[in-house]
Structure 1
């Protein structure tokens, strides 16, 4: 006979109480023993029995801020306990350098998690895959076929065309009301999300599914695109949430906080979409199987076509299909590209515009640079970006203050290693608090101040720094083996979108007060807590909004 739910819960509570009491008794002995054996990193105070510091990270404050406050008390490297998971928190560039140079290989893996199991085909998405031959092979294919400069150069007409459509869509929104108002109010965070989703979908599966106007006339595919954008946002929230099942794996079966149920729901929705894409590709036969002999480069179609072309069959020998089927690898890799590029890029664009609306001096200086270097009689081209040094500094400063992933993606030690003179055991999780590191007053003067000039030559402390992870004081994309492979893609989209937007429109806040800069920090990325409403009006001749290249839905 099954035990009633009430008795099951009483048993669980009793077991936890017993374990808590036992842990309380032996904890001083364990600390004393460890102190005599190795030099361990200091552990933050306030740990609870069993759950450790988990209650402190699930409150109203975003985890990166809570951990930043802890760093002020316990130093640039310290331990927290997330249930049974020992976790090292790194908050200074010196410690980050040790992690990503001499210890890079030891810290190159990702921890197992409920999100990874349920939402990424059991860690098949290479961003959170374990450090093994599968990860090396699939990252190599992804980089060589899409993310490196050469293939992206061949496909750059796709983002350029989509940004043109985006600008024209904003202009058409203004046209509908300009007889009544000089400017039109739009919500930019969602529109940036639709833009980056369209760009990445077009690159990866040959589709664009969102328009930028009135949603009341959406067709079925348009509604599908808007729903996909919401699912991607939910995906990133769930990827960063602290779950009971991760902290206390022996309780995962009960799903006490309900997060596994939410993860499975998101996984089901996103897999249905990916499966449809894959089956459409197979049915249409855009790539023949013989194209895999075309020097391993496909034939210029989208990324999913290339994956279908270059990946071997399920029964082939090698590291790719030891744990996953061929179809699973294709879906996971395509989705990895889409969800990562969509959310992080749109979040960064939203913060950049928020900062500019709160600083009219910087906004005017950026538009003056555009008027001087480009003018108002033509659109911006690729060749112009290198001359827009102040605009580039704005993007750098935005990513310093609001890195898209403030704690990066967690690492896990695969071997014992030494960081900062402390012994770090294999299996320890490592959180890199880039948000805190980027606000180190030893490196950045007035670190909470938005000042792009700090990245200009001979004017600021960041003038020689770039995005590539070699300057450990500044690494919004991470560093080492597991740094983001899509840096070139992200920076080109950020530069071109912001440049086109600032050239095309005068922008202001609908409110006389400053834009609210509160973060929604419970997920893997750091979006705004509130929508970003903006007043915009054209600043270019009408003809420059009408030269958009045609880009029909595929």
Structure 2
């Protein structure tokens, strides 16, 4: 009797999981292949920290479309331009929703912003606002003086550091000088405020702003593994008071700035900053307070780190490739000369600079897996079944390094973008730093302009080289883990002024 009972229990232990797996297979259909998931954890223990590289390795083993199980949740990752087109164009509407974890659910107030909103009437309305009002060529041109002001402030910062007594010939940490531009630029564009003075000191509101950004990052990164296993979340409840306090602090600062602008509007009329635009368009587009605040912080989230990341990677490639650096400087000297500084209006006459920007974004997209999409219905990708509710990622890092569509894909060669006219704003699926389709980044042109301006000024004003004894292959070109990928080791480089007139290194301030 005991033996029969033990045999029955043993069979149950074996058959129940097999039966559940079979039922799951029948329910989900023919899923893409992928690494064998563990019970409960799925592939969480197998995923390496730098996910774009990990998923590329798995794609080489299992095929260009793979299943990855984050605990109990299915994520499908595609790694070729053909499959990217299937996701972002042919099945765009069915895959236009956005998965929200418990953290982004609270930060976005259930998707009341743009980034984390599901595809539907709210998203369409807010997207229309971005396309027709916020990121128009007219507004970007009106805000150009702010960008040029902040880039010249960066030049002044680098010049002071490079020429300070005892610093000549010594390497500087490039990222430190880029971060200042990104911080000042995005706060001025979004809020119409420069929180940092000429000496680099941040005022009270600026310190509060930085604290809110840093706290948001810490809170968002504090989610446990139970976030991926829905039936274990009751064991790890969120600290709701922490989120409530953070959101109230963020809203309080934002509303204070909005109120300041409302008062200024009555006295001097509307300006071109995004906060003024949203305030004046609030009724026309029926925007809630949550949406206005969400949009402003979307711009900050999307625009601050990505600019620093893009330019630092570009500078790393340029110091490792003196030929490209010299060729770009020759173009700048020919078009701009050495008697004035470069302006954004020069871009149309600087094709090699544009090619350098494109090649840098090809090899080093700041969001290498884009933000995840979510299937609102069952679809097929690459002949496989993608069930409703599954997440879908495009590994744009792998797509842009695919040897089947790129010649010598790991070589940094901007000339490839002169030999062929390749768009990087979503119409060519071989290179997708800003995504494509309904979820393409509405601020792509703004980002391109700022990155091009920063690179152009850094190369026009200065010569850059590696520290003495450092070879190009010694530079650590590994990414940091995360949704956005900084250089894992901050770039250090030696710089030397190349323009003779000292006044060309001064900031050109603009009050707007």
| TM-score (normalizing by structure 1) | 0.82
Q: 1:351 aligns with which of 298, 304, 313?
A: 313
Q: CA deviation at 1:181?
A: 4.6
Question: Is the aligned partner of 1:312 residue 2:283?
Answer: yes
Question: Is the aligned partner of 1:442 residue 2:432?
Answer: no
Runs of 5+ unmatched residues, structure 2: 1-10
Identify the residue that residue 4 of structure 1 maps to in structure 2. Answer: none
Identify the residue that residue 8 of structure 2 maps to in structure 1. Answer: none
Contact 2:143 2:273 in 1 (8 A): no
Structure 1 runs, 4 residues or longer, greater than 6 Å off = 21-24, 34-38
Question: Is the aligned partner of 1:516 residue 2:476?
Answer: yes
Deviations 1:43-88 (A, max 9, x none): 313310011111122x4x4111111111011111121221221111
Please show how residues 172-251 of structure 1 align to structure 2 within 5 Å: 172-177=160-165, 180-183=166-169, 185-210=171-196, 220=204, 223-224=207-208, 227=211, 230=214, 234=217, 238=220, 243-251=224-232
Question: Is the aligned partner of 1:327 residue 2:289?
Answer: yes
Q: 2:38 aligns with which of 27, 48, 55?
A: 48
Runs of 5+ unmatched residues, structure 1: 1-20, 292-297, 321-325, 458-462
Identify the residue that residue 537 of structure 1 maps to in structure 2. Answer: 496
Deviations 1:28-51 (A, max 9, x none): 445556767885133313310011
Please show how residues 245-260 of structure 1 align to structure 2 within 5 Å: 245-255=226-236
Identify the residue that residue 460 of structure 1 maps to in structure 2. Answer: none
Deviations 1:91-128 (A, max 9, x none): 11111111122211000000121231233333333112
Identify the residue that residue 369 of structure 2 maps to in structure 1. Answer: 407
Helix, strand or coil for the counterpart of 2:56?
helix
Please show how residues 442-521 of structure 1 align to structure 2 within 5 Å: 442-457=404-419, 463-513=420-470, 514-521=474-481
Q: CA deviation at 1:423?
A: 2.0
Q: CA deviation at 1:464?
A: 2.3
Contact 1:91 1:436 in 2 (8 A): yes
Identify the residue that residue 169 of structure 1 maps to in structure 2. Answer: 157
In the aligned structure 1, how far is the partner of 2:14 from the partner of 2:224?
23
Q: CA deviation at 1:193?
A: 2.0
Please show how residues 282-301 of structure 1 align to structure 2 within 5 Å: 282-283=259-260, 285-286=262-263, 299-301=270-272
Q: 2:106 aligns with which of 111, 118, 124?
A: 118
In the aligned structure 1, how far is the partner of 2:64 from the partner of 2:13?
28
Contact 2:33 2:63 in 1 (8 A): no
Identify the residue that residue 484 of structure 2 maps to in structure 1. Answer: 525
Please show how residues 31-70 of structure 1 align to structure 2 within 5 Å: 32=22, 40-57=30-47, 59=48, 61-70=49-58
Identify the residue that residue 137 of structure 1 maps to in structure 2. Answer: 125
Please show how residues 367-382 of structure 1 align to structure 2 within 5 Å: 367-382=329-344
Report the count of equivalent residues.
499
Aligned CA-pair RMSD: 3.1
In the aligned structure 1, how far is the partner of 2:29 from the partner of 2:402?
26
Helix, strand or coil for the counterpart of 1:106?
helix
Deviations 1:164-223 (A, max 9, x none): 12212222333432xx4534543221321221121111011111223686x6x6554564
Seen in structure 2, the aligned counterparts of structure 1 residues 274 and 143 have a Cα distance that, compared at 3 Å, is: farther
Identify the residue that residue 3 of structure 2 maps to in structure 1. Answer: none
Helix, strand or coil for the counterpart of 1:86?
strand
Deviations 1:202-256 (A, max 9, x none): 011111223686x6x6554564565566557x37x947x9852431123224338
In the aligned structure 2, how far is the partner of 1:65 from the partner of 1:197?
29
Q: CA deviation at 1:301?
A: 4.2
Seen in structure 2, the aligned counterparts of structure 1 residues 45 and 546 have a Cα distance that, compared at 3 Å, is: closer
Identify the residue that residue 298 of structure 2 maps to in structure 1. Answer: 336
In the aligned structure 2, how far is the partner of 1:440 from the partner of 1:264?
46
Helix, strand or coil for the counterpart of 2:77?
strand
